[in-house]
Amino acid sequence: MKKGVFITIEGGEGAGKSTLIEQLSNTMIQKGRLVMTTREPGGIPIAEQIRSVILDRGNITMDARTEALLYAAARRQHLVEKVVPALEKGTHVICDRFVDSSLAYQGYARGLGMDEVWAINSFAIQNLMPDLTIYMDASPEIGLSRIKQSAEREVNRLDLEKRSFHERVREGYMQLLKKHPDRIVLINAEQSPEKVFCDVLTVIEQRFAGFFATDVKS
């Protein structure tokens, strides 16, 4: 039975997810919360291996459905091996990307269809959805320029897609926001990291009253 809170962070390339996740987990740890951060695709050895196949810049012949299935396979393994056990122990989980990425990237931007991509993912996740999803919204122009400026950030196969692909990813997320207004919250990720963080803390406090208020172990 799930006891921890499951939060996912979504967004296009260069939206600032990693910075936000670090700030969020540091704050939660300071408040005495048990927290685990992880990422998709990856987070555990099997899923990291799948990640390197999907994102390998040499794999230019990869079929769109193959790509969608690989993301779903990595997701399944990561969920059962890492996320579910943590949540069951009462650890809060902050995950960099989850099923909404597949819906926006493969379902919408690649044109496979959100319903089709949802079908394989619902098989993979068996109804385990996040309690809250933060969507970090930034224009592809700003996001991609941030990636170019960052020497540490890997440039993967999907980063190499045309600007129009990244525009469609953003449109896909907008559709998801309309469909799931209770779960997904849009944050303006073009603001400073400090302002983004402040907005996210406000959202979390609103959703889970007292989450950051007390220094308790949970």
Bridge partners of 92, per DSSP, are 35
- Indicate the residue among 155 and 206 with the shorter CB distance to ligand TMP: 155
Residues 6 or more apart whose CB falls under 8 angstroms from that of 158 comprise: 13, 55, 105
Give min distance, CB of 1 to ligand TMP, in A. Answer: 26
- Indicate the residue among 57 and 89 with the shorter CB distance to ligand TMP: 57
- Contact residues for ligand TMP, defined by CB under 6 A: 13, 40-41, 71, 97, 101-102, 105-106, 156, 158
- Indicate the residue among 56 and 88 with the shorter CB distance to ligand TMP: 56
Query: Per the structure block, which two tokens stand in for 122?
Result: 């619902």
With CA atoms as reference, report the closest residue to 10 among 105, 140, 101, 79: 101
Give min distance, CB of 32 to ligand TMP, in A. Answer: 29
Give min distance, CB of 113 to ligand TMP, in A. Answer: 15
Give min distance, CB of 15 to ligand TMP, in A. Answer: 9
Alpha helices in the chain (DSSP H): 17-30, 45-55, 64-78, 84-89, 99-102, 114-125, 140-149, 163-179, 193-207
- Indicate the residue among 34 and 62 with the shorter CB distance to ligand TMP: 62
135 φ, ψ to 5°? -100, 115
Angle at alpha carbon of residue 54, lines to 49 and 56, rounded to 5° = 90
